[in-house]
Amino acid sequence: MYRLQEIPPRLREKMKEIKVLITDVDGVLTDGGIILDDSGVEYKRFQVKDGQIIPFLKKFGLLVGAVSGRDVDVVKRRCEQMRLDFHFHGVKNKLGLIADLLEERGLTLAECAYIGDDIIDLDVLLNVGVSAAPRDALPYVCDKVDFVCSLPGGAGAFRELADTLLHVRGNLDEALRSLDIA
C-alpha cells in the first residue's frame, strides 16, 4: 500500500497537537469520479481501508469527521457506516463551519488536521494546524499543504494520513499491539 513517510521535526510537533481529523469526501475518500445511472442515482467507490482506522483514531482521543461540498445520500450513508463523530454535506463555507464546530467543542484550528484536494478546501487547508492532500490533488493545493500523501484520493490517502498521525503520536504501534500482530 505505502510506507510511512519521514516527517520533518516541525511537522511532527504540529501532528502531536492534533485533536480532530476532518476529511473532504470527493477526491479524498473517493477518486473524485461520479457514476450516474439513467435514473439519476449517484454511485461512488470508497476505499474500505480508510474506514478501518476510524475506531483506532477515536480510541486514542481523536475526533473524526467529514465536510463535503456536495449533498449526496450515498456519502451520508458511508459516513454513517464509518461511524464518524460528525459529517456535514452541501457545505460551501467549509472554514466557517469547521471554525464554529471546533469552537463549540473548545478546540482551535491549530488542533485540527484536514485533508482536501480542491479549490473549495484551500481556505481550510491554509488555516488548520496540519493540512494534507492526496497525491493526485490539484497542483496548487499540493503546493500549499504540510503533507502530500503518497496515495491518491479513493486509494487510501485518508488512511495514510491517519496512520501517520497515529505513528507520530506513538499510537500506531500500540494499536497493532492491541491486536496481537505487532
Q: Given the C-alpha cell 488548520, which residue does it identify? A: 128
Distance CA 117, CA 122 (A): 8
For 62-119, what is each residue's pLDDT tens digit? 999 999 999 999 999 999 999 999 999 999 999 999 999 999 999 999 999 999 999 9
The runs of H, that is alpha helices, within the chain are: 9-16, 48-52, 54-59, 73-81, 94-104, 122-125, 139-142, 157-168, 172-178
Residue 2 has pLDDT above 80, yes or no: no
For 124-173, what is each residue's pLDDT tens digit? 999 999 999 999 999 999 999 999 999 999 999 999 999 999 999 998 88
Task: Say which residues have a Cβ less than 8 Å from residue 33's Cβ, sequence separation at least 6.
Answer: 44, 45, 154
User: What pLDDT does 123 receive?
Assistant: 97
User: What pLDDT does 162 receive?
Assistant: 97
Q: Is 24 annotated as contributing to ligand binding?
A: yes
> Is residue 151 within 8 Å of residue 45, measured between CB atoms?
no
> Is residue 62 within 8 Å of residue 19, measured between CB atoms?
yes
User: What pLDDT does 23 receive?
Assistant: 98
Residue 14 has pLDDT above 80, yes or no: yes
> Is residue 165 within 8 Å of residue 15, measured between CB atoms?
yes
Residue 1 has pLDDT above 60, yes or no: no
For 134-146, what is each residue's pLDDT tens digit? 999 999 999 999 9
> Is residue 64 within 8 Å of residue 166, measured between CB atoms?
no
To the nearest whole percent, how much of the chain has pLDDT over 90?
88
Q: Is 31 annotated as contributing to ligand binding?
A: no
| Separation in Å, CA 158 to CA 28, 37, 70, 106 | 7, 27, 18, 25
User: What pLDDT does 178 receive?
Assistant: 74
What is the third-level CATH fold of 9-178? Rossmann fold (3.40.50)
First vs last C-alpha separation in the chain: 18
pLDDT band for 19, please (50, 70, 90 cuts).
Answer: very high
Q: Is 26 annotated as contributing to ligand binding?
A: yes
User: What pLDDT does 180 receive?
Assistant: 61
User: What pLDDT does 84 receive?
Assistant: 97
User: What pLDDT does 5 receive?
Assistant: 80
pTM for this entry: 0.94
| Separation in Å, CA 74 to CA 24, 43, 79 | 15, 7, 9
pLDDT band for 181, please (50, 70, 90 cuts).
Answer: low
